[in-house]
Structure 1
Amino acid sequence: MKAELRRDIEFMQPIKNETIFDAAIKLFQQKWKAKECPPINNFIDYFINEWYMSNKGWFEGFTIGYPSSNNALEATNGTIKSLYTFRERLPVGEFLSVLENDIIHQLSRERNTDDPITSQNAKAFANVPSINLSLWTSTYHWIKEEREVIIMKNNDEKNAFY
């Protein structure tokens, strides 16, 4: 029963629309309250109060357009620690010197297409999304299936298609 409860919670996390999330929470609550098991009822009450009423921001649709984790930030932090500070806590003045002379200089050169040393391997910024043939093909086939599409407003009042 624990595994099923966990699966139900994990199922709700990737929902991309608050209206659908609210409906899923209600169905989740109805399903588990129907079991009429006091320990489960206690957990459901706790879960609804803590993770729906108080801390609702754990599902993907809560902030559309923003990362749902800080993995990229942590990766950058790990790079700074391993390559520049050698995992030592530096005084602010010393860290600012490392930041100015090493980190910014190095990372800026990696993106500079005009630098003769790094231009061959420069990491270019993407200005437009790249859509490959495989994605175009799968999109075409999906459209041909003539599925019913549900259009709902997301948190930013923009249309979201499901």
Structure 2
Amino acid sequence: MFQSALAAFIIKYADQREFITYFKKEWVYQNRNWYLGSSKGSPITNNALESFNRSIKECHTLRERFPLSRFLVVVSDMVKEWSGTYQMESFSNSPSIELKDWTAGYQWAKSGRKVVVLKADSMKKTYLIASSGESTVQFGQDWSSFDEYKQVAFAYWTVELPINKDQWKTGECNCPQFFKDYICKHVIGLAIRLKYVTPPAEAKNIPIGIKRKRGRPAKARPALIVQ
């Protein structure tokens, strides 16, 4: 699907010759796996590496440039410190779900959006759900241009959930949010609708249609209101 969409994109912007030449060289021939979903289960950002670099600059080099002799001493100290504080961390096999994710999933579950079973076997079921936007596009509709592809690609999502409800976190979706976080409101919401899981009470205290604000929910009410 991606390769077909890529070809349609190049045709659409063929008159932008300089850009297309650059795009094909950098993102078609040299770096082919740049898009979300190209490598299942892999990190999509280098945040962990940047965090590591930050600790080096703030705790060891203090953002200064050293001559080689001094740099070797600092590196030796870093290795000694890290080797003494190294802790083995277990690899997570399931995504972490934050409160905002629970809230979004719960609100989606309560939206009453139509869900259709596409296929099923002894291990999993595949569900078809319409996206949030209103669309007259039919699922599986053929397309012949990049603009038509966008309409078809974002009109529906497919969600796969295992039959074993205890493994619902291993479910998959083809929406953009899932490719970023490996969890999305569709997987969570469908698990809630199927009674695979019960969302935390805090996820239900936001009115339907309102997004949860960032940060931890406030425990204290405004002044002059009895708790």
Give me the TM-score of the superposition, normalised by structure 2: 0.39
- Residue 145 (structure 1) aligned with residue 145 (structure 2): no
Match of 2:34 among 58, 81, 85: 58
Contact 1:151 1:161 in 2 (8 A): yes
TM superposition outliers: structure 1 runs of 4+ over 6 Å:
none
Count residues with an aligned counterpart. Answer: 118
Q: Match of 1:96?
A: 76
Higher helix fraction (1 or 2) = 1
Q: Match of 1:41?
A: 17
What is the Cα deviation at residue 104 of structure 1?
4.0
Contact 1:32 1:44 in 2 (8 A): yes
- CA-based RMSD of the aligned residues comes to 3.8
Q: Match of 2:54?
A: 78
Identity %: 27
Identify if the C-alpha distance between structure 1 residues 134 and 54 changes in structure 2 by more than 3 Å, giving closer, same or farther: closer
Secondary structure in structure 1 of the residue aligned to 2:56: helix
Higher strand fraction (1 or 2) = 2
Mean Cα deviation higher: 124-133 or 143-152: 124-133
Contact 1:80 1:103 in 2 (8 A): no
Identify if the C-alpha distance between structure 1 residues 132 and 81 changes in structure 2 by more than 3 Å, giving closer, same or farther: closer
What is the Cα deviation at residue 56 of structure 1?
0.9
Unaligned runs of 5+ in 1: 1-18, 112-123
What is the Cα deviation at residue 41 of structure 1?
2.9
Give me the TM-score of the superposition, normalised by structure 1: 0.51
What is the Cα deviation at residue 152 of structure 1?
8.8
Kindly report which structure 2 residues correspond to 1:114-129, keeping only aligned pairs within 5 A, or say none: 129=95
Match of 2:7 among 20, 26, 29: 26
Contact 2:61 2:74 in 1 (8 A): no
Distance 1:133 1:74 in 2: 26
